[in-house]
Structure 1
Amino acid sequence: MSLESSVASARKESKSLRATIPEGIVAYLDLKATDKLEWKMDTIKGKRVAIIRGVKK
């Protein structure tokens, strides 16, 4: 499954970015508004990837 979302600035004074999680990923990971996301960064076959896991409260 492949889904896309747009990235925007979180705040003017920050380098952080913000993205909306597509509905299909929300359903697939069974995410709720209070859940946390765990991000793991890796390199696979020379390409940078992020592996994101939903963490239940």
Structure 2
Amino acid sequence: MRVLYLLFAVSILMLQLAAGFPKIGYFHCQSRKGQCFQHTCPPNTKYIGSCNQLGNCCQR
């Protein structure tokens, strides 16, 4: 019975972590040969999409 409580706690923790990391945007950026950066794209790169609410997908 204690194992069920532990599994429940771990599953809730995993769901909270998964909500903070948008895997779809990250992998979509990688498939377009881009890289995720926080806020703005660095020099010599162009904006090609967004990775999440604060990140931009940039390509050289």
Higher relative contact order (CA 8 A, sep 6+): 2
Task: Give 1 or 2: higher helix fraction.
Answer: 2
* Structure of greater Rg: 2
Task: Give 1 or 2: higher strand fraction.
Answer: 1
Using structure 2 for the length normalisation, give the TM-score: 0.28
Using structure 1 for the length normalisation, give the TM-score: 0.28
